[in-house]
């Protein structure tokens, strides 16, 4: 396995020179998701307030992502049920026409009582053969009637299911709208606060981001191999996105939130994993000890499981950290986010 030391970082120059205000504006207009730790609520200052708003926005983003995934699933289920109901209605229409033709034929052939028809028949043997055929026809008709009624019941069940799913979808879309409004409100407030900062305060925040990006470029990942070829392929895909901006709700290829990056990277490796960090926390084999992590394992952070990234080796995480930041390497020990466990996708 090749060394994981300092992967090439494409297109990082533009991100490192963004002012904090501009980065926040991008986050508002395009969207953002899950990152660093909740600052001390008693700590004062604009930066502390902005950090807290970003944190709250990223946590809300994972809830938004979950609702979006649910809505997408419900839309597919509703479509499938409606298609199945349409096909079933077509089958019932054919059965109804067939039963109607049989009934009409029997009505036209009716008249005398069968025993009288036999007495008057000039060819009793032929009549008996026809009567036997009629008995078999009546038996088939009865079976078709039973089948028709069973199909009617199934159609009604499908329509009832579709109605229920449509109601669930409506409720989920309402939830999506609320989460989107909440995220945008927090990011708008962060932008307002950033605009109140002095030039010196802004320069300090820009310098802090520059330091984080320079540290990412110098990250020593060691030479440890991934646990599987799929994990290695996903990790390599994520490494190719270093320098791309964090945008809430984004799943690539040119912007990401935290779980958007990990799910996109595994798709490039031909592996489907859930969309949200909370769902990804149960997507594979749990690795409880940080010392047992291998490059390409997922790293689940925070007690509410609202952040995820890739273990990059040598105590580093590769992730999309927060609004105004870019995909980068960071020391897990210095991230300020508590490690919960790792997840190995085989």
Report which of 15, 9, 42, 55 is spatially closest to residue 301, judged by C-alpha positions: 55
| CA–CA distances in Å: residue 292 to residues 19, 225, 314 | 39, 12, 11
Q: What is the largest CA-CA distance in the chain?
A: 117
User: Burial level of 215, CB count in 10 A (0-12/13-18/19+)?
Assistant: middle
| CA–CA distances in Å: residue 272 to residues 71, 77, 167, 327 | 18, 19, 28, 21
Which residue's structure tokens are 């995820």?
Answer: 308
Provide the 3-class DSSP secondary structure of residue 287: strand
The whole-angstrom separation of Cα 200 and Cα 189 is: 20
Residue 64: count of CB within 10 angstroms of its CB: 25
The whole-angstrom separation of Cα 206 and Cα 183 is: 23
The whole-angstrom separation of Cα 306 and Cα 308 is: 7
Catalytically active residues are 258, 307, 319
């Amino acid at each position: 396995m090749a060394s994981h030391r300092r992967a090439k970082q494409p297109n990082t120059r533009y991100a490192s020179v963004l002012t904090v205000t501009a980065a926040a504006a991008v986050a508002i207009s395009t969207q953002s998701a899950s990152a660093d730790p909740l600052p001390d609520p008693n700590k004062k200052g604009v930066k502390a307030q902005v950090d807290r708003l970003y944190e709250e926005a990223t946590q809300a983003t994972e809830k938004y992502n979950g609702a979006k995934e649910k809505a997408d699933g419900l839309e597919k289920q509703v479509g499938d049920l409606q298609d199945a109901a349409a096909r079933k209605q077509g089958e019932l229409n054919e059965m109804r026409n067939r039963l109607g033709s049989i009934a009409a034929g029997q009505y036209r052939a009716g008249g005398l009582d069968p025993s009288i028809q036999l007495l008057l028949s000039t060819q009793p043997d032929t009549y008996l053969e026809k009567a036997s055929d009629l008995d078999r026809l009546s038996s088939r008709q009865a079976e078709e009637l039973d089948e028709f009624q069973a199909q009617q019941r199934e159609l009604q069940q499908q329509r009832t299911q579709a109605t229920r799913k449509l109601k669930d979808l409506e409720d989920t879309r309402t939830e999506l709208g609320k989460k989107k409004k909440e995220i945008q409100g927090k990011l708008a407030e962060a932008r307002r606060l950033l605009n109140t900062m002095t030039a010196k305060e802004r320069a300090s925040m820009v310098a802090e981001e520059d330091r984080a990006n320079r540290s990412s470029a110098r990250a020593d990942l060691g030479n440890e191999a991934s646990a599987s070829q799929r994990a290695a392929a996903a990790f390599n895909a994520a490494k190719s996105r270093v320098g791309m901006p964090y945008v809430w709700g984004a799943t690539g290829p040119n912007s990401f939130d935290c779980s958007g990056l990990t799910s996109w990277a595994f798709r490039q490796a031909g592996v489907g994993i859930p969309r949200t960090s909370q769902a990804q926390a149960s997507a594979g084999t749990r690795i409880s000890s940080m010392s047992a992590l291998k490059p390409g394992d997922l790293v689940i952070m925070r007690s509410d499981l609202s952040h995820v990234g890739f273990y990059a080796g040598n105590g580093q995480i590769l992730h999309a950290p927060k609004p105004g930041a870019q995909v980068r390497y960071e020391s897990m020990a210095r991230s300020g986010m508590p490690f919960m466990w790792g997840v190995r996708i085989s």
